[in-house]
Amino acid sequence: MIFFFFRLFVWSILASICCTYTRAPRLEPNFSVLQPFLYPMFARQSIVKQLVRNASTKSDRITVQLLQDFEPLGTAGELVRVKPAFMRNFLHVGNKACYITNGPRIPVVERKREPVVTQKVKAPKPTQAAEDPVAESGPAMSLDELSSLFSSMRGKKGTTASSVFQTQETTSVATYSLAELGESLPATYSLSGIEYPLTREALAQVVFNSTGIEVPASVIKVTADGVAVDEIVAPGTFTWSFSAPGDANVLKRKLKVQ
């Protein structure tokens, strides 16, 4: 309120000065002289809103060239796409990468992607008893023998499938870093309007939708009061932890589920 009356007092003084030096038939205030003083006062609020709107805009990724080997992004000479803030605050400061506005600085290197090796699962051959259950030459199998036969076949199939899954996880290459993920995720992340239970696969999809970074569900851990949980079944505050292959650090964020 004091600032308002002070500003009104200044306006009255400036108006009286304008009336004194205006050569008009009638002494009327010339507010055009006050325009340089009044415009910043009224335009300040719109400028602040414009700055806030521009600051909240999410920037796209840019293509840069690595000058040093930096796993898991790539090797020296490789062209990678990162966020502008990650390039400006981390890669460019340590001379780990450069912009390619004027072209690549060093010869371009392409990473050789190793194909994922998968093991083919062969269907078990049917036994003679299954092919010809009513053959007169052999004795009929009892219910216990049939049950043990199907259990052994199911166990072999599960073992083969698990070995294929482990092979795929071993040969996969991480395409993210904890530094980039920590820059993209806020210190406290809020979720609302979701369906329970909330699994780690669903949390990995939330990270991808929010940051554009693909994170496997196996590196995500959720704890409530220091106790690890496999899935979230009710609202609350949890600790969100992320790890990365080849990095001993752990990224932690607070997760609020409403």
Rounded CA-CA distance 226/238 in Å is 9
Please report whether residue 79 resides in a domain: yes
pLDDT at 241: 92
Cα angle vertex 194, ends 188, 195, to 5°? 135
Domain limits at 39? 2-49
235/256 Cα distance (integer angstroms) = 8
φ, ψ for residue 151 (rounded to 5)?
Answer: -65, -40
Report which DSSP code applies to 188. E
Specify whether 44 is located in the same domain as 69.
no
Classify strands 220-224 and 198-199 as parallel, antiparallel or unpaired. unpaired
- Coil, strand, or helix at residue 224? strand
Q: Choose the final residue of a domain: 10, 27, 49.
A: 49
CATH code assigned at 232: 3.10.430.100
Coil, strand, or helix at residue 249?
A: strand
Please state, in angstroms and rounded to a whole number, the distance separating the CA atoms of residues 34 and 14. Answer: 7
pLDDT of residue 237: 92
Sheet strand arrangement including 79-82? 79-82, 62-66, 97-99
Would residue 11 count as lying in a domain? yes
Whether residues 37 and 87 share a domain: the answer is no
What type of residue is 67? L
User: pTM of the entire structure?
Assistant: 0.35
pLDDT in tens, the chain (258 residues): 676 777 777 777 777 776 555 554 555 556 565 556 555 555 555 554 555 455 445 558 899 999 998 877 888 899 999 999 888 888 888 888 999 988 888 998 887 666 656 666 667 766 655 555 444 445 566 666 767 776 777 666 555 544 544 444 443 456 788 888 888 888 888 888 888 888 999 999 988 888 888 889 999 999 988 889 989 999 999 998 999 888 888 999 999 998
The CATH number of the domain holding residue 67 is 3.40.5.10
42 domain residue, yes or no: yes
Q: Is residue 71 part of a domain?
A: yes
| Count of the separate structural domains present in the chain | 3
